[in-house]
Structure 1
Amino acid sequence: MELKAVIDEFILYIQIEKNYSDHTITSYEYDLVQFLSFLRKSNGSTDVACITKTHVRRFIQHQMGMCKQKPRSMHRKISCLKSFTKYCLQEKYLMSDFMASIESPKTDKKLPVYMTLTDLQQLFQMLSEEHSSLSLRNEAMFKLLATSGMRRNELVTLTWEEVDFSSQYIRIYGKGKKERLVPLHPVVLPLLQAYKATRKKHQCHPSQPVFLNKLGKPLDPRGLHAIFKNALRKSGLPPSRFSLHHLRHTFATLMLQGNKENVDLRTLQELLGHESITSTEVYTHVEFEQKKKAIDSFDIF
């Protein structure tokens, strides 16, 4: 069967049956179309049954050589191809898995960048002191992100029906549309209530997004990112140093560092919506690095 037709089927499968996020679907489709294009340009067969490990290895070589793809990007492409071949085997389009012995290139494990408590307090102070038509929205948004560990896409898609003021929690639909409940911080709860009170009646309908742009339209991730960079500038923090995702890292790191009696890795995993606890364990490495710096700076000799 032609690879293009199987790709179309696979994309429909992960969208309808697997309920993958829009971002993952777009990324997987891009990677598979890229692989198909490579096969065509290299005069390789585009029949699924004729694809071999050699084709895949040459694709990886081309991506990392000619296209200068970084190991982290190749890791995603290989993961995509592995999911694709698993589907092909399931549907009997393949008799053997051409990805079976393909390994991802080694990546440097980088510790996540995060804001210190002083940085975060500096940002919070600016947000609470600013007076503009959008200042209450911005304060509610960024304090919610910093106290919940939400992803930026989870914030812009948050609707009023997912905010439970009486039980004081939010319902978040994360990657793969997985659902989790996250308690609202006592400081954020009245901020959200005050912000909602400024909204027009139709904007507070349960189905409506919580956060809107200056035109009253739903925020998009790119717009939210720009607002955050502007908030950093006003706070006296370097916009080039931090991104919105670093607020998520900050939440996780500060939570583990300063609240050990109430937080363990499993709780943090649930709060962040990580599928595997391995993803959460990176924050223990951050803490270790801080301990090492403290020991190294202990100048007694």
Structure 2
Amino acid sequence: MNFTQAADDFLMYLEIEKNCSHNTLRSYAYDLKCYKEFLINQNRSLDLHDLTPSTSRRFIQDQVINHGVKPRTLQRRISCLKSFSQFCLKENYTKIDFMAGIQVPKADKKLPTYMTLDELKKLFHYLENDNSRLAYRNHLLFKLLATTGMRRQEVVDLKWEQVDLNNKTIRIYGKGNKERLLPLHPIVIPLFHEYRKHLLDYQLHSSEPVFLNKNGCKMNPRGLHKVFKEILEKAGLPPKKFSLHHLRHTFATLLLQESKNKVDLRTLQELLGHESLASTAIYTHVDFEQKKKAINSFLLE
């Protein structure tokens, strides 16, 4: 079996049978493309029967040494190839597990970047006083992100049928099309009503996207990222320091730090749509104020 045909079959399997998200499919397709290009550049066979663990190890070495691929990206690339190898074995495309014995490297455990409460208030202050043409959209959009922890793709895919203003809830379709129901924060309810007043009747249809670009079409993730960077700069915040995903980190961190009623990790996991509690656990390491109180309580006199 040829590598290209097997890769196409694998991606189809992920899309149809595993119901993977578009982002996952795009990432895996790129990982497979990188492996194929390595084989071609090294004048190696594209026949699956000729692939061995040694071939895969040389690919990984090439990624690190010649392409400077970082541990987190390498983790995903190896994970993709391991899944691909198992798929090929199951489909009898090959008899050799060409990823056998290959370990995923440990990534650096970095604490998530997030805005402080004062920085978030600074962003909100700008949004509340903005008079630009798209001010109503931006005001709702970024306060919604900051109070729900939604992912960038989740918010651009949001349709009116997912928003229930009567019950003050929002239905999110996350990674792998997994559903979660979130309560809307009281501050965004009036913003939804105000934003709706500035849309045409057809734009409020249940099947229409909630957030539109300047041309009245559905926003895309890249466009949303660009808008966010521009707003950060106008709000007096460093655009190079924060990304949209950092707004998600901000939601999780401040929820743990500032909430009067302590939020448990399981609840935060549900809010963020994490499949594993381990993904949520990173936010337990960022409460510096709690650490400070603990140190100050350590009496040495």
For the aligned pair, the TM-score class normalised by the smaller chain equals over 0.9
Alpha carbons of 1:63 and 1:290: their partners in 2 closer, same or farther (altered >3 Å)? farther
Report what 2:154 is aligned to: 154
Structure 2-normalised TM-score?
0.94
CA RMSD of superposed structures (Å): 1.9
Q: What do residues 237-296 of structure 1 show as CA deviations (whole Å, max 9, x unaligned)?
A: 111111111100000001111226352111111111111111000000112x55445667
The aligned runs of 1:83-122 (5 Å cut-off) are 83-122=83-122
Report what 1:60 is aligned to: 60
For the residue of structure 2 that corresponds to 1:171, the secondary structure is strand
* Paired residues of 2:256 and 2:262 also in contact (CA < 8 A): no
Report what 2:82 is aligned to: 82
For the residue of structure 2 that corresponds to 1:281, the secondary structure is helix
Report what 2:71 is aligned to: 71
| Partners of 2:121 and 2:164 in 1: CA distance | 27
Q: What do residues 151-210 of structure 1 show as CA deviations (whole Å, max 9, x unaligned)?
A: 111111101011111121111111111111111111111111211121100111111110
For the residue of structure 2 that corresponds to 1:181, the secondary structure is strand
Alpha carbons of 1:92 and 1:187: their partners in 2 closer, same or farther (altered >3 Å)? same
- The percent identity for this pair of structures is 55
Report what 1:164 is aligned to: 164
| Partners of 1:247 and 1:122 in 2: CA distance | 13
* Unaligned runs of at least 5 residues, structure 1: none
Report what 1:238 is aligned to: 238
Q: Bigger CA drift: 93-102 or 244-253? A: 93-102
Report what 1:178 is aligned to: 178
For the residue of structure 2 that corresponds to 1:98, the secondary structure is coil
Q: What do residues 33-60 of structure 1 show as CA deviations (whole Å, max 9, x unaligned)?
A: 2112212222323221321110010000
Alpha carbons of 1:129 and 1:51: their partners in 2 closer, same or farther (altered >3 Å)? same
| Partners of 1:67 and 1:232 in 2: CA distance | 32
For the residue of structure 2 that corresponds to 1:232, the secondary structure is helix
| Partners of 1:2 and 1:290 in 2: CA distance | 57
| Partners of 1:107 and 1:297 in 2: CA distance | 32
Structure 1-normalised TM-score?
0.94
**Aligned-pair CA distance for 1:133:** 2.3
Which amino acid letter does the alignment assign opposite residue 44 of structure 2? Answer: G
Q: Bigger CA drift: 200-209 or 100-109? A: 100-109
Report what 2:7 is aligned to: 7
| Partners of 2:13 and 2:285 in 1: CA distance | 37
| Partners of 1:266 and 1:104 in 2: CA distance | 27
Q: What do residues 74-126 of structure 1 show as CA deviations (whole Å, max 9, x unaligned)?
A: 11100110111121122122334232311122321111100001111111111
Which amino acid letter does the alignment assign opposite residue 144 of structure 1? Answer: L
**Aligned-pair CA distance for 1:297:** 8.5
* Unaligned runs of at least 5 residues, structure 2: none
Q: Bigger CA drift: 265-274 or 214-223? A: 214-223
| Partners of 2:14 and 2:56 in 1: CA distance | 22
Q: Bigger CA drift: 237-246 or 89-98? A: 89-98
Q: Bigger CA drift: 274-283 or 220-229? A: 220-229
Which amino acid letter does the alignment assign opposite residue 163 of structure 1? Answer: V
Report what 2:28 is aligned to: 28
| Partners of 1:33 and 1:147 in 2: CA distance | 38
**Aligned-pair CA distance for 1:131:** 1.8
Which amino acid letter does the alignment assign opposite residue 178 of structure 1? Answer: K
| Partners of 1:160 and 1:66 in 2: CA distance | 47
For the residue of structure 1 that corresponds to 2:286, the secondary structure is helix
